[in-house]
Chain A
Amino acid sequence: MTNDAPPKPVKPPVNWRLLGLQLAVVATVLLIFGWMLHNMFSNLAKRGIMVGFDYLERTARFPIAESVLDYTPADSFAWAITVGVANTLFISLIVIVLSTVLGVLLGLARRSTHPLAYGLASAFTDAIRNTPLVVQLLFWYGFITYGLPASAEAFNPAPGVFFTDRGLYFPSLRIDGAAWIFWLTIIMGGAFFVYAQRRAARETRKTGLKSGRRNLLIVPATIVAALIVWAVFGLTLDVSTPVLGRFNFGGGLLLSPEFVAIILGLVLYTTAFIGEIVRSGIGAVAKGQWEAGRAIGLSERQNLRFVIAPQALRIIVPPLTSQYINILKNSTLGLVVGYPELNFVIATTINQTGQAIEGVFILMVVFLSISIAASLLMNWYNSRIALTTR
């Protein structure tokens, strides 16, 4: 090629070679897929399995040990799968809340100068992050079902609380009567408090004066209102404590070994990862920010709260999002310890009906849509706290 080659035309001509390449790849992929689909349908036809979602209407006839939504084996497959989705979301939500709180504490502990806190936090993080979650789950499940004593000699750490090999028993509180009015009062009071606080903050920003000093009065006012509602509607508190019967405990709230194992295992595992995210997020804030905070006379805690945390949050939120989606995905391991989440229900359904493709399809659709919804939500939050440059 010489240096005085003519300049290229502005609009490049169609590159037939590349177009052909793309078409060839697409054709090959489609051919392989078509061949596989053809095999699949002929295999299914030979086994006498009809492809379609009609089976969802039929009675499920298998039990689900525990569920957030009411379920009996007389319900349909569709309802069984819904119950599975609800269980998956339920444990994911609990784990998200607990491991976020604990993860922040762990992250702070790993940055602290306190040698005990730092040492324990680091050892915990290394141990948890470098072993598979399944092993941890099975360990906890084995620990509960074989390590804890039988009901007769239950471990009794606090009055009314019993740890046994059949699960953990706690006293439960239940409000008899029209409890919803009571809760509504409290929620309304809380909402009003939040609203008043935000208004006061806006006022402060506008005028520079402190305002909303009387907002705190809303809290006792709400409590008084709730108590009045309690008296007027004649609500009573029903305390149920677990009592040892002939073979087992009755009454109270029972957390099954499966539930405890999946929650404990997932919370500890995720806490280690969130702790690491928090630690590196705080570490990534420029050193000058700490120094500037100290220079204007903020205490270490104020500095962390008002200067460092808002900046660290921007770094923390994206990896935190993927951690939350990981929790959802890891909750499928409930299957290993026998907690009936979505994967468990789908596997049972496929076993019972042979409707493999439909089951797999539902599984994919549910997980992908929850993952996408979660990442959209977090993206929205991320854009809210992102740096606004003027």
Chain B
Amino acid sequence: MREIFFSDLASAMTTLILAVVILTAVPQILSWAIFDSVWTGDPAACVDAGACWSFLGEKHPFILFGIYPPDERWRPLVVILLLIALALWTLPTAHWTRRTLYLWIAGVFTALLLMRGGVFGLQHVPTADWGGLPVTLLLTVLSLAISFPFAIVLALGRQSKLRIFSWASIGFIEIVRGLPLLSLLFITSIMLPLMLPEGITIDNLLRALAALTIYAAAFLAEVIRGGLQGVNTGQAEAARALGMRWVQTTRLIVLPQAIRKVIPPLTNTVVVVVKNTSLVLVIGLFDLLSAGRAALSDPDWPAPYAETYLFIAVIYFAICFGISRYSLWLEKKFEQGVQ
């Protein structure tokens, strides 16, 4: 004990300072979160009390599903479960097959159809009424899926010997990466409607998706470029020597090796994309965070900000922490595979 906590002056100081901080903070946090908190009851009980957990008990369906028609809430719930199930199914590397890809495509289409309705006797729900966690998850999955092919093209373009392609790719990647995502969201939400001919209006969800996709494409492209640089040039030369054309060489020899190399960092980029989706609240889209904010505006309750944002933070944390641990696990597994 003594050796660990008081081995020299610096560590003794550290122990003392941290102990004081913990001893003052923990009782306060505990009394707020547990002893003085309100678990059940009406808004009046929350006045001058600790954490108002009963607010979350009352509002969590609204935070999770937004203004989606309350009678139809089973549909976003199924969408959430479907996407989680698909993600869990994909985790073991043995499941990385073409069939899984088809499963994902089918799953995402089912999810979109289920959310939108209008078929099979389901009530039609316009995208303006979608909200909460399904929007966050769908934005993540769709922006990743759409941006991935573009990212590959951009990464290849950046490496290309054809000047026009490399200049265009570098320009696109650097401009997008130099801009804050918030500005990009503004740009798409203001400029996209202006750039389309009159009469064609573009959905708010699609505008946000456009910005997220552009941003993700630039980021993924840089990750994939790292993989491309890691592939020995001898591989491409050998393929050429066998008489393969450029398309064949790239598709069959270079890309599979490059992408395999960067799968762990790609998984980590998913965390960034998940976190980025929370920014859509600035253009008035109803994702998890905006739904939480909207729930807080109920005048009947004494605005339990900390509780609501903690609840939202915990959901994001569960998703992101899971993915980053998974990425670490993949990294280890791949390292072992190489040796």
Contacts and interface: CB of A to CB of B under 8 A. Distances in A.
Interface string A205-229: 0000000000000000000000000
Interface in A123-175: 126-127, 129-136, 138-139, 141-143, 145-147
A75 to B, nearest CB: 23
B119 interface: no
B89 interface: no
Contact of B195 (A36, A329, A350): A36
Main secondary structure of the interface of B (DSSP, over half): helix
A350 B303 CA distance: 31
Contacts of B243: 1
B281 A356 contact: no
B279 interface: yes
Contact of B289 (A40, A135, A347): A135
B19 A139 contact: no
Interface in B228-282: 243, 271, 274-276, 278-279, 281-282
A147 B306 CA distance: 8
Interface in A301-337: 325, 328-330, 332-333, 335-336
Interface stretch (B62-70, B179-187, B204-212): B179-187
A363 interface: yes
A139 B306 contact: yes
A161 B79 CA distance: 51
B298 interface: no
Interface stretch (A181-189, A195-203, A367-375): A367-375
Contacts of A146: 303, 305-306
B18 A132 contact: no
Given A116-B18, A126-B321, A332 B182 contact: yes
A139 B162 contact: no
Nearest to B312: A135
Contact of A367 (B11, B162, B180): B180
A357 interface: yes
A115 B197 CA distance: 63
Given A135-B313, A363-B183, A25 B195 contact: no
A114 B164 CA distance: 55
A116 B16 CA distance: 10
Nearest to A366: B183
Nearest to A37: B195
Contacts of B159: none
Interface in B143-186: 162, 164-165, 168, 175, 178-183, 186
Nearest to B307: A142
Interface in B295-309: 303, 305-306, 308-309
**Residue with the greatest number of chain A CB neighbours at <10 A, chosen from B183, B197, B271, B312:** B183
A94 interface: no
Q: Bin the interface of chain A by size.
A: 35 or more
Contacts, number: 150
A232 interface: no
B194 interface: yes
B123 interface: no
B190 interface: yes
Contacts of B329: none
Contacts of A236: none
Given A1-B243, A333-B182, A335-B282, A131 B313 contact: yes
Contacts of B320: 129-131
A360 interface: yes
Interface in A1-58: 1, 18, 21-22, 25-26, 29, 36-37, 39-40, 42-44, 46
Interface string B58-98: 00000000000000000000000000000000000000000
Contact of B281 (A127, A133, A134): A134
A371 B5 CA distance: 44
A371 to B, nearest CB: 4
Interface of A: 1, 18, 21-22, 25-26, 29, 36-37, 39-40, 42-44, 46, 112-117, 120, 126-127, 129-136, 138-139, 141-143, 145-147, 325, 328-330, 332-333, 335-336, 343, 346-347, 350, 356-357, 360, 363-364, 367-368, 371-372
Given A346-B186, A357-B191, 13 more contacts: A22-B164, A37-B195, A46-B198, A114-B4, A117-B18, A132-B275, A138-B293, A141-B305, A146-B306, A329-B179, A336-B281, A364-B179, A364-B187
6 contacts: A112-B14, A130-B316, A134-B281, A139-B306, A142-B309, A336-B281
Query: Considering the complex of A and B, which 5 residue pairs feature the smallest CB-CB distances, nearest first?
Result: A142-B305, A130-B320, A329-B180, A132-B278, A139-B309
